[in-house]
Amino acid sequence: MSSWYFSHLTLIQGMLISIPLALSVQIALRSGVFSFASIGFYGVGAYGTGILTMRGWPVLPAMLLMIVASGVVAYLMSAPLIRLRGLYLGMVTFAFDLILTVVATNGGELTGGALGLLGVPLGMGTGGLLAAALVAIVLVSQLERRSVGRALVGIKASEELVMSVGVDLKSRKRTVFAISAALGALSGSLYVSTFSTVSPTSAGFTLIITTLTMAVIGGTSSWIGAVIGTVIITWLPTMAATIGEYQHLVYGVVLVLVVMYAPEGVLGALRWLWRRLAPKVRMARPSGGAALAATGPPGGPPPDRGAEAEAEPVPADRVKG
């Protein structure tokens, strides 16, 4: 076991680092915010923490500063952005990610140019990464559970409905934007303090592909999906040795296929299985009579079952039946 652990340490660490990043994309998509900005904030977090620790800052304060700063900056940035229609927001945040690559490349001594930062002090053990990933998971799952989370889901379900119950939609979206950025910065900070290096390309286009694949393949309707996706994408290259340099090609194909055929991701598939199996489980129970009477006749799905299933967890990607 321990030999397995040590030979796979880099992958395990990589997986733990990716979890907050995948969550940052998931939380945005789940709330109907077409934003790739958190991937840019990953770069901000990585470069910021790297630059600070190389100048003698201890790791934790540097990380915290970058996370908080990213959250605050994102909150301020979100004021004009949140008014934008879907595609415009996607475009602007995509442009934001690309421009950060340019900034990093041209930052001179501060960012180390095209080579990036090398020899950033190490400050993260696997335990620390695990703790950070867990904090991110707890934060996002609690957000989903609490009223804030419900309202966020509501943004996607029906903007009019949520507004009619008096939830301030704009401020909700801005909060999502800020949290998403903070999670991105967290992930970047963890990366640089674990692997001691960051370069312009490590936060560029390929990271957008990888992160989106993680979030979408798992399913964006819940934090569980982001975690599932991260696990799959981290371990996929080890399963097939041939993937190697074609890694991002495989991700690209997988991403397209998932979007086309299973937009609710692995999580959606599991839910679907559960919906099919659950009535049978209930039927098998002797006391199931009352429940059955409430939900409809056995054998076929009760007429309002579909509507109920849709209204409750609000699948990220509702498709025409």
Exposure pattern of 81-107 as b/e (b: 16+ CB <10 Å)?
A: bbeeeeeebeebbbebbeebbeebbeb
At its nearest, how many Å lie between another protein and the CB of residue 26?
12
- In this structure, what token pair is assigned to residue 316? 């990220």
At its nearest, how many Å lie between another protein and the CB of residue 55?
24
The residues with which 198 forms a beta bridge, in sequence order, are: 117
| CA-based nearest residue to 236, from 244, 115, 195 | 244
At its nearest, how many Å lie between another protein and the CB of residue 129?
27
At its nearest, how many Å lie between another protein and the CB of residue 113?
9
Torsion angle (degrees, nearest 10) of CA 133, 142, 319, 296: 130
Instruction: Count other C-beta atoms under 10 Å from residue 225's C-beta.
Output: 28
At its nearest, how many Å lie between another protein and the CB of residue 65?
24
Between 141 and 201, name the residue whose CB sits nearer to another protein. 201
Between 41 and 129, name the residue whose CB sits nearer to another protein. 41
Concatenating the DSSP letter of every residue in 201-249 gives GGGSHHHHHHHHHHHHHH-TTSHHHHHHHHHHHHHHHHH-TT-GGGHHH
Between 55 and 160, name the residue whose CB sits nearer to another protein. 160
Between 107 and 121, name the residue whose CB sits nearer to another protein. 107
Between 197 and 247, name the residue whose CB sits nearer to another protein. 247
List contacts with another protein (CB under 8 A): 29, 32, 34, 80-81, 83-84, 86-88, 90-92, 94-96, 98-99, 101-103, 105-106, 201, 204-206, 208-209, 212-213, 216, 245-249, 251-256, 259-260, 263, 303-307, 317-321
At its nearest, how many Å lie between another protein and the CB of residue 231?
19
Between 13 and 213, name the residue whose CB sits nearer to another protein. 213
Rounded to whole angstroms, the Cα distance separating 245 from 262 reads 26
